[in-house]
């Protein structure tokens, strides 16, 4: 009798465990699906090693970028512009800003915000495009908040395309082989500025970057 009870309990537990693990897997898959839909739409053609998820800059990080842009002018590009916050921070300084972003939800949000803030098309433009496929030679200011895994590839692209008077400002993850001109902030909000003129003297680009 005791044996029977134990077996029945064991069978019952095994079935409910099975059901529970299906439920957990189902919930995990749905949550991941929703997350991927929001974070990675439009990314089908981007290789896995270059996929960068959306994570907004903090206010301090944005302020740090703005401080390293002071005194400069001309054209600015934000690589992976998200909801446009770096562009909206830079536009009032007089830059002609362009944000490249693959996520259609974020592009729509940034464009709507520009309209609501009364920011003209000349001050801020948002383009739904893979920035790895954009020739960046017309920009003399580049901002990027990306991921550690793409920074070396980014270095190769930028050094090959940018003019000598260009400045690159990266957030949170420094360029691994470049020596910064200056830096602002600490910890997760730290940003680094690199002047192409200084780098070109010491850094030889590789031909292929993508
Ligand atoms: C870490 S978030 C930074 C967003 C914004 N710049 C900010 O500072 O709040 C990186 C953004 O880059 C976008 N992104 C990643 N790879 C891209 C690519 N190849 N072309 C265009 N946008 C890209 C992502 O969708 C994401 O919105």
Q: Which atom of ligand 1 is nearest to the CA of 85?
A: 9
pLDDT (0 to 100) of residue 136: 98
pLDDT (0 to 100) of residue 27: 84
With a CB cutoff of 8 Å and minimum separation 6, the contacts of 152 are: 176, 177
Q: How far is the CA of 66 from the centre of ligand 1 (A)?
A: 18
What superfamily would CATH give domain 59-202?
Vaccinia Virus protein VP39 (3.40.50.150)
The segments of the chain whose pLDDT lies below 50 read 1-4, 7-8, 10-11
Q: Which residue has the tokens 């409910």?
A: 16
Q: How far is the CA of 199 from the centre of ligand 1 (A)?
A: 25
pLDDT tens per residue, range 133-173 = 999 999 999 999 999 999 999 999 999 999 999 999 999 99
pLDDT (0 to 100) of residue 208: 55
- Cα three-residue angle 152-158-160, rounded to 5 degrees: 105
Structure tokens at 120: 């003209």
Structure tokens at 21: 């693990």
Domain ranges of the chain: 2-39, 59-202
Task: State whether the beta carbon of 89 lies less than 6 angstroms from ligand 1.
Answer: no
């Amino acid at each position: 009798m005791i044996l029977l009870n134990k077996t029945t309990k064991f069978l019952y537990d095994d079935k409910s465990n099975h059901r529970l693990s299906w439920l957990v897997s189902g919930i995990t898959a749905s949550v991941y699906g929703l997350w991927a839909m929001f974070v990675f739409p439009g990314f089908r053609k981007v290789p896995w090693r270059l996929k960068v998820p959306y994570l907004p800059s903090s206010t301090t990080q944005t302020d740090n970028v703005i401080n390293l842009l002071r005194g400069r002018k001309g054209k600015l590009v934000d690589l992976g512009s998200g909801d446009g916050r770096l562009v909206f921070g830079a536009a009032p300084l007089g830059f002609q800003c362009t944000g490249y972003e693959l996520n259609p939800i974020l592009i729509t949000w940034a464009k709507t915000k520009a309209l609501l803030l009364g920011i003209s098309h000349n001050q801020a433009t948002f383009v739904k495009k893979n920035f790895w496929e954009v020739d960046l030679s017309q920009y003399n200011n580049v901002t990027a908040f990306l991921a550690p895994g793409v920074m070396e590839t980014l270095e190769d692209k930028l050094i090959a395309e940018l003019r000598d008077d260009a400045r690159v400002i990266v957030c949170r993850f420094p360029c691994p082989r470049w020596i910064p001109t200056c830096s602002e902030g600490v910890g997760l909000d730290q940003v680094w500025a690199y002047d192409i003129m200084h780098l070109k003297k010491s850094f030889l680009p590789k031909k292929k970057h993508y």
